[in-house]
Amino acid sequence: MKQIQWMMAGLLTIALCGLAVADDKKPGKDKPKRQALTKVLELSKEQIKDYRAATKELNAKTKAIRENKDLDKKAKNQQMRAIQKERIESLKKVCTDEQKKKLEDIIAKRKKGGKKKNKDK
């Protein structure tokens, strides 16, 4: 009888350890991260320098929006989207025609692959 109890305790321990190990793998962790646009577009050092100079002011605006406690989430999102559009326009200004086409393709893919909004809300 004691052997059966010890065997059951051992099997229970093994089963519980298996469940704990299975929880470590969360879905979506295996996804590759997006590369920076500057790398994907293969911008030269001069182009990157020009882009960073152009977006310095946008970075300050972004920081101010994030730190502003008076804005609600919706207002922050609207302002952040506007800044993101400005950021893309700044990037287009330093790109060659070929890089601009590549950028448009990337933006289209990202919009197409974005999160689907639940319209039932």
Query: Does residue 31 carry a pLDDT above 80?
Result: no
Confidence of residue 121 (pLDDT cuts 50, 70, 90): very low
Domain ranges of the chain: 38-111
**Residue 9, pLDDT score:** 76
For 45-80, write each residue's pLDDT tens digit.
999 999 888 889 899 999 999 998 888 889 999 999
Q: Distances in Å between the alpha carbon of 51 and those of 18, 80, 82, 92, 99?
A: 50, 18, 17, 9, 14
The Cα 108–Cα 18 span in angstroms is 42
Q: Which two tokens stand for residue 90?
A: 């700044």
